[in-house]
Amino acid sequence: MTQGEEMRLGRLHWALEDSTFASMDFLNEVAERYPNAVSMAAGRPFDGFLSLESVHRRLETYHRYLESVQGLGSDRATRTLLQYGPAGGVINDLIARHLAVDEGIETEGESIVVTVGCQEAMFLVLRALRADERDLVMAVSPTYVGLSGAAKLADIPVLPVPTDETGVSLSHLASQVRQARAEGRTPRALYVMPDFANPSAVSMDLPARRALLRMAEEEDILLLEDNPYGLFHGEKARLPTLKALDRTQRVVYLGSFAKTVVPGARVGYLVADQQVEDDRGGAHPLAFYLSRLKSMLTVNTSPIAQAVVAGCLLESDFSLARANSQERAFYQRNLNHLLAGLRDRLGEFSDEVTWTSPTGGFFVVLTLPFTVDDEDLQVCADKYGVLWTPMSHFHGPDGGENQLRLSCSAISTDMIDIGLDRLRDYILSRLR
Ligand SMILES: Cc1ncc(COP(=O)(O)O)c(C=O)c1O
């Protein structure tokens, strides 16, 4: 039996056939089809850091904290973990302490919403900023696919602002804002990743951060700061986040515990301390309204999962920098190994093949004298046994055609060597 006209794809939300969503499917499917290929595509944390034992221990740590330190007693502590919970989250105060310790961000639990990964945080903010069809969000380009996807679900267009060596081209930002306004549109915010961006791997220095905050002020836009890689900063000292420098509530901070605690918990958060006034003269932080939205999207973030994060925070005196010292060293070693391996194998072709040299994070971008698309990826996986991500996936309709992203987070240095040997063979086959 056919479902009739109403079940045609064209009669459903346009995102169902959008290329961003299809591209994620494609990348996952290629990885599954070539299980023996070395994956330099996946940006996930190293499996060796996943531990069931630490999940159990952290759960217990948080339960004991609720029971004894907070004085809830055993039954209420258990209920906090196992019952439905408040939409905005249960571990907000602990996250606020972590932000003070690790990031120099002074905030309170009530300005925080604990979300199902950073992904939900992005969606909630974008949904809220899209009041009518004139509203748009800007994003550094190339950009994280999760942001582009969330914007599509929230029906808010994304205007790309090019990444330059400072992280974001301020001249383009200013001209985009003015042009959009001249066309009767309303740029609400700019999405940025100031630390080891995914995929560009570019970081902003301190003057660039201050200049961006000044421009956000002048142009009256919000900054959506996404920072999943800041704690993996290699040997160089960390710089303050935009949120730590923010004195005027310009920045909505987006956080993820996927890389710093455990990805399977699916816990992230947002800090939205902007005061939102209602028509009756009252005001609440934006976080208050975003948690209302969340209550109708995911009801609340699993308190069991929040407890795992809270246990990690309690066990490390609220410092995820401390909790991740081993991880940081591992990712740094891998990144150095990847960069040295590229020099060894492709250094003699440096006229034609270049790559970024980030000091931290998970990614390196290669620029090639030929295009690399999804078909090339399949050929490379099949014939050469190595996977990477075509950079075109992180651009709009155009851009990144001759670039690919390598990730070094999920594999060992030995596998990096094998992957790079294969990548070199593939690149040479295309150079000749
Ligand atoms: C830029 C960026 N933001 C956020 C995330 C993580 O999001 P989540 O917490 O939803 O796993 C990632 C992970 O790949 C990322 O690269």
Atom of ligand 1 nearest to the CA of 120: 10
pLDDT for 1: 54
What are the DSSP E strand ranges found in 146-287? 158-162, 186-192, 222-226, 251-256, 267-271, 275-277, 283-285
- Alpha-carbon 58 to chain mean position: 24
The structure's pTM equals 0.97
Give the residue, by CA position, lying nearest to ligand 1 atom 16.
Answer: 198
Distance CA 296, CA 264 (A): 22
Give the end of a domain, one of 291, 322, 353: 322
Residue 168 lies in a domain: yes
Q: 149 and 86, same structural domain?
A: yes
> What is the chain's mean pLDDT, rounded?
96
Residue 413 lies in a domain: yes
Joined tokens for residue 83? 């019952």
Residue 153 lies in a domain: yes
Distance CA 3, CA 6 (A): 7
Q: 343 and 210, same structural domain?
A: no
Q: 121 and 73, same structural domain?
A: yes
Residue 5 lies in a domain: no
Atom of ligand 1 nearest to the CA of 116: 10
Report which secondary-structure segment, H or E, holds 116: strand 112-116
* Short-list 20, 257, 233, CA closest to 121: 257
Atom of ligand 1 nearest to the CA of 267: 9
Cβ neighbours, 10 Å, residue 296: 8
- Across the range 86-115, mean pLDDT stands at 98
pLDDT for 364: 98
Report which secondary-structure segment, H or E, holds 226: strand 222-226
Ligand 1 centroid, distance to 142 Cα (angstroms): 15
- Residues paired with 285 in a beta bridge: 275
Of 114, 256, 331, 389, best ligand 1 pocket probe by most atoms within 8 Å of the beta carbon: 256
Joined tokens for residue 285? 């932080």
Q: Which residues line ligand 1 (CB under 6 A)?
A: 43, 117-119, 144, 146, 193, 198, 226, 228, 256, 258, 263, 268
Query: Which domain CATH number covers 356?
Result: 3.90.1150.10
Residue 432 clears pLDDT 90, i.e. is over it = no
Of 119, 253, 362, best ligand 1 pocket probe by most atoms within 8 Å of the beta carbon: 119
Query: Which domain CATH number covers 302?
Result: 3.40.640.10
pLDDT in tens, 302-354: 999 999 999 999 999 999 999 999 999 999 999 999 999 999 999 999 999 99
pLDDT in tens, 382-416: 999 999 999 999 998 899 999 999 999 999 999 99
Structural domain containing residue 137: 57-322
pLDDT for 2: 64
Q: 141 and 99, same structural domain?
A: yes
